[in-house]
Amino acid sequence: MQQKLLELKNVTKIYRVGGGLGLRARYITAVKNVTFSIPEGEPLIVALVGESGSGKTTIARMVLGLTDITSGEILYRGKSVAEWLKEDPFTFRKEVQAIFQDPYSAYNPFYRVERILYLAIKKFKLASSKEEAEEMIIKAMKALGLRPEDLLGRYPHQLSGGERQRLMLVRALLIKPRLLVADEPVSMIDASLRAVFLNNLLQLKKEINMSCLYITHDLNIANYVSDRMVVLCNGRVVEEGPSHMIFEEPLHPYTDLLVKAVPIPDPRRRWKSRISIKAETLREVRPERGCPFQHRCPHVTDRCRTQDPPIVDVGSGRKVACFLYT
Amino acid sequence: MELLRVEDLHVYYKSVWGLYRVVDGVTLSVKSKEIFGIAGESGCGKSTLVEGILRLIKPPGFIAKGRVIFKGIDLLKLDEEELRRLRWKELSYIPQGSMNSLNPVMRVEDQMVDVVLEHSNISEEEARKLVREYLKRVGLPPEVARMYPHELSGGMKQRVIIAMAMLLRPSLVIADEPVTALDVVIQRVILQLLKDLRDEYGATVIYVAHDLATHAELVDRMAIMYAGKIIEIGSVEEIFLEPLHPYSKLLISSVPTPERRVIRGIPGVAPSPLKWPPGCRFHPRCPEAMPICSRKEPKPVDLGGGRMVACHLYGGE
């Protein structure tokens, strides 16, 4: 069997809300029975796609070991994340890096750019001398099309959002992780720099063989940057497969709705029909039983309300969890 | 027919570091019953431009120069009372992040009724009826009227704001980033509602957003802003299919489409309103820059049919 770089097996996360002093706590299932993997070998960008509240960020935090898992397993190169953190946190932190949505909060505001990068080099013992470290920093910046003279000596607040996020990629290029977990890294930066960031990410994938778990609500970006997509609805995987296939021909009615709602930057191809959302489903509904999309699905049947649709293989590397395909 | 004309509008902010020339000479014309888009990246001055149009600039900001002619009246010359009478009734504004500006301790219906009573002479009973009708119109169930804002999702709050903006049937609705931060499906529903404002109520809509794809879905004509100035105006087809200004071209090619497998960004960073570059403000990042571009500011070139571009490649003086 092929070794997996990252493997999620029936991962569930239940949050406890409130309670105490004799009050009953509520439990919210943020992630339920999520299974998917990223293989070793060829680097792959896997997009985790879903709306707000779908559990994407919770999954990212569990993969990074920042949030506990309620049940199930997350394995990085065959060993659970919890074990990695106990036995060899140094290797795990070096090999699995993260980029978050807010490019500002990731930096110590009192450190200049070069110090931030130098600390990464020092921590992971990437250079034997200060001169070598400086050389590495300048080389990495140039490799990603950044001008060292524009960045060095500056503080994080003096950089634009796009520059701050690209600096995280410079950091990644120095550390050379095997897996990058990127949680909505471009949602706060402008289109022109977004494109540069995404191209830099694709460049890293090729040049340092880095795989990436790319979390986004934007299907257009997921389609551009990723090889495979995993679509989440209310904490469950509803569809998985090669990105372009999902984008061109979504199978699950939820994926279909998401794809149809993506605005296309071409006025010749405007939406022709209207979509409607039933008023009573405007608020978030988390079904206890059955399909996570049952409240909004146009094809819903009684079976969808009582049974969980199993995720089935439908060929060409695609999987879908919907009774329409079983 | 022209509904709104902005002439050479300048909005500046004073600071200890100097003068921020955020909107620096904007001229545009919006026709009655059109959906007009204003696009540009963060910091280009698009929000300040609409605040200037609506006279919502607060100190240390001020309108340094210009005219804003709405239905033949110069809004910049009106006194506060005259302007107040136009608000909501003639001019509605959906500011950025406004779904978070609903009063948290008032029921949805009550805050909407307040607006109606303040700006028209109908009775409270009629006002309540009107509010219910508009909530229904934006697809909200009747029980929303008696709810508090925290009980609603972001998409529901944004619908309340749109219903509120429509209440008194204004002729002009200005919406600043109304779908940013909403999920794609809700985004599409909100864009449909903005379209209804024009199609069903005959309102003119100015749609301000940095996201180009939503412009392509919604607007009839649009302006692209860069560094406090409008650099190109045209129909949505002209802008997307035959952009003229190098900035417009690069901006459009930065957005992925299902087919566009290679996107390019724009290298460099946007300049600061404290010190705009000399000549054309885009020249330091422009791949087609010529010697003249760093020396002389390009004058807007009128290409006829409402098309304008401000770039030395297209002549002008």
Cα-only R_g, chain A: 21
Quick check: is B222 in a domain? yes
Number of domains making up chain B = 1
CA nearest to B65, candidates B29, B28, B21, B3? B21
E strand spans, B40-198: 61-70, 73-74, 91-94, 172-176
Over the stretch A291-314, which tens digit does the pLDDT of each residue have? 999 988 889 999 999 999 999 999
Q: How far apart are CA A138 and CA A121, in angstroms?
A: 13
Quick check: is B115 in a domain? no
A152 and chain B in contact, CB less than 8 A: no
Give the domain range for residue B223: 2-90+170-314
The answer to whether B240 contacts A267, with C-beta atoms less than 8 Å apart, is yes
CA distance A324 to chain B (A): 22
The answer to whether A283 contacts B250, with C-beta atoms less than 8 Å apart, is no
For B90-115, b/e burial (b = at least 16 CB within 10 A) is bbbbbbbebbeebeeeebbbebbbeb
Q: How far apart are CA B4 and CA B23, in angstroms?
A: 17
Nearest to A263 among B139, B213, B254 (CB): B213
The answer to whether B187 contacts A264, with C-beta atoms less than 8 Å apart, is no
Quick check: is B159 in a domain? no
Quick check: is B274 in a domain? yes
Give the distance from CA B289 to its chain's centroid: 29
- According to DSSP, residue A277 is labeled -
Mean pLDDT of chain B: 91
Tokens, residue B103: 């009063």
Tokens, residue A232: 């989440």
- CB-CB contact of A49 with A230 (8 Å): yes
The residue type at B96: Q
Give the distance from CA A307 to its chain's centroid: 28
For residue B159, the model assigns a pLDDT of: 86
Over the stretch A53-95, which tens digit does the pLDDT of each residue have? 889 999 999 999 999 999 999 999 999 999 999 999 999 999 9
For residue B220, the model assigns a pLDDT of: 97
For residue A283, the model assigns a pLDDT of: 56
pLDDT of B254 > 70? The answer is yes
Nearest to B212 among A191, A271, A276 (CB): A191
Quick check: is B103 in a domain? no
Which has more pLDDT, B152 or A211? A211
CA nearest to B281, candidates B17, B43, B49, B28? B43
Phi, psi of B71, rounded to the nearest 5 degrees: 50, 45
Quick check: is B51 in a domain? yes
> CA angle, A159 as apex, A219 and B268 as ends, to 5°?
70
Nearest to B267 among A145, A220, A257 (CB): A145
Local confidence band at B316 (pLDDT 50, 70, 90 cut-offs) = low
For residue B137, the model assigns a pLDDT of: 82
- CB-CB contact of A201 with A225 (8 Å): yes
Tokens, residue A156: 């994080």
Q: How far apart are CA A156 and CA A163, in angstroms?
A: 9
Residues paired with residue A183 on neighbouring β-strands, in sequence order? A215
Tokens, residue A132: 């070598």
Which of A8-12, A171-175, B115-119, B166-170 is the most confident on average?
Answer: A8-12
CA nearest to A173, candidates A132, A202, A216, A213? A202
Quick check: is B161 in a domain? no
CATH number of the domain encompassing residue B39: 3.40.50.300
Identify the burial level of A42 via C-beta atoms within 10 angstroms of its C-beta, where 0-12 means exposed, 13-18 middle and 19 or more buried.
exposed
Specify whether the backbone of A48 is left (phi greater than 0), alpha (psi in -120 to 50) or beta. Answer: beta
- CB-CB contact of A276 with B184 (8 Å): no
Cα-only R_g, chain B: 20
- CB-CB contact of A185 with A97 (8 Å): no
What CATH homologous superfamily does A4-325 map to?
A: P-loop containing nucleotide triphosphate hydrolases (3.40.50.300)
Q: Would you tell me the crossing angle of helices B184-199 and A253-260 to the nearest 10 degrees? A: 50
Over the stretch A169-186, which tens digit does the pLDDT of each residue have? 999 899 999 999 999 888
Q: How far apart are CA A260 and CA A247, in angstroms?
A: 9
**Continuous segment of H or E residues that includes residue A155:** none
Write down the domain spans for chain A.
4-325
CA distance B208 to chain A (A): 15
| DSSP SS3 for B294 | helix
Q: How far apart are CA B127 and CA B110, in angstroms?
A: 10
Quick check: is B131 in a domain? no
**Continuous segment of H or E residues that includes residue A45:** strand A45-49
The answer to whether A277 contacts B185, with C-beta atoms less than 8 Å apart, is yes
CA distance B236 to chain A (A): 7
